[in-house]
Chains A and B, each alone.
Chain A
Amino acid sequence: EAGVAQSPRYKIIEKRQSVAFWCNPISGHATLYWYQQILGQGPKLLIQFQNNGVVDDSQLPKDRFSAERLKGVDSTLKIQPAKLEDSAVYLCASSTNTGRRYEKLFFGSGTQLSVL
């Protein structure tokens, strides 16, 4: 079974530039998550999709971050413009969770972003 695919693996940009990350979840998984993990900390949920609808984006800095999940399958997360404090690993995860019974998350390897 193929896992959660993320690209790119690494990205280095200068502050005020824009960047986009891509995620393809496990086939059939209805729920997709984007987490931000700053060095030395646990993952922080940015946005949660169920199919192509947003379930939770309460911690997404909407003035600079945006995310979409077209057709309820793959997803992109964009930052524009980037700030130094956005340097982190961006993790995508998916699950079969339908909201009625919470199941485990499957994570991709992440995109390590460095903002200079």
Chain B
Amino acid sequence: SQQGEEDPQALSIQEGENATMNCSYKTSINNLQWYRQNSGRGLVHLILIRSNEREKHSGRLRVTLDTSKKSSSLLITASRAADTASYFCATDAGANSKLTFGKGITLSVRP
């Protein structure tokens, strides 16, 4: 079963705009991770935020985590055409630290 659900399913923006993607989950987590997948390739890790953290930055990426609402958001600022990809949130929950992925968000950045 998939724990994380991303929203929206698809997002199309103009280059230079900001992109915001949301992820909701159902059970308590140890940490939450965001990954990017370019077409026909494997997933690439973007950022990990632990359950006791509320916000994290990495370059043009900003991730927030609200454990009371069981939700996270990924913000990509000043988007580029190269940011076009699918984005997945993944939650780590339970004793075995099993990483469970959502269905993903397709981001298209128009030049």
Instruction: State A99–B102 Cα separation when bound (angstroms).
Output: 22
What are the interface flags for B42-58 relative to A under an 8 Å C-beta threshold, 1 for contact and 0 otherwise? 11110010000000000
A107 contact from B4, B31, B42, Cβ within 8 A: B42
What chain A residues lie within 8 Å of B42 (beta carbons)? 4, 91, 93, 107-110
Instruction: State A44–B4 Cα separation when bound (angstroms).
Output: 12
What chain B residues lie within 8 Å of A43 (beta carbons)? 43, 88, 101
The smallest C-beta distance from A11 to any residue of chain B, in angstroms, reads 15
Q: Chain A contact residues (Cβ within 8 angstroms of B): what range?
A: 20 to 34
Contact status A102-B100, CB under 8 Å: no
List residues 2-49 of chain A with CB under 8 A from any CB of chain B. 4, 33, 35, 40-45, 48
Given A102-B30, A102-B31, A104-B33: A45 and B100 within 8 A (CB)?
yes
Interface size on B, residues (CB 8 A): 25
Task: Tell me if A65 is interfacial: C-beta within 8 Å of chain B.
Answer: no
Instruction: State A45–B91 Cα separation when bound (angstroms).
Output: 12
What are the interface flags for B68-111 relative to A under an 8 Å C-beta threshold, 1 for contact and 0 otherwise? 00000000000000000000101010001111111110000000
Contact status A91-B30, CB under 8 Å: no
Instruction: State A18–B16 Cα separation when bound (angstroms).
Output: 48
Contact status A104-B102, CB under 8 Å: no
List residues 17-65 of chain B with CB under 8 A from any CB of chain A. 30-31, 33, 35, 40-45, 48
Instruction: State A42–B40 Cα separation when bound (angstroms).
Output: 13
Contact status B43-A102, CB under 8 Å: no
A42 contact from B44, B97, B103, Cβ within 8 A: B103
Report which B residues bind A (CB closer than 8 A). Answer: 2, 4, 30-31, 33, 35, 40-45, 48, 88, 90, 92, 96-104
- A-B pairs with lowest CB-CB distance, top 6: A107-B42, A42-B101, A104-B45, A102-B97, A107-B43, A102-B92
A-B contact list, 25 entries, CB within 8 Å: A4-B42, A33-B99, A40-B103, A41-B104, A42-B4, A42-B88, A42-B90, A42-B102, A45-B98, A48-B98, A55-B96, A91-B42, A93-B42, A93-B43, A97-B97, A99-B96, A99-B97, A102-B92, A102-B97, A102-B99, A103-B48, A104-B45, A104-B48, A105-B43, A109-B42
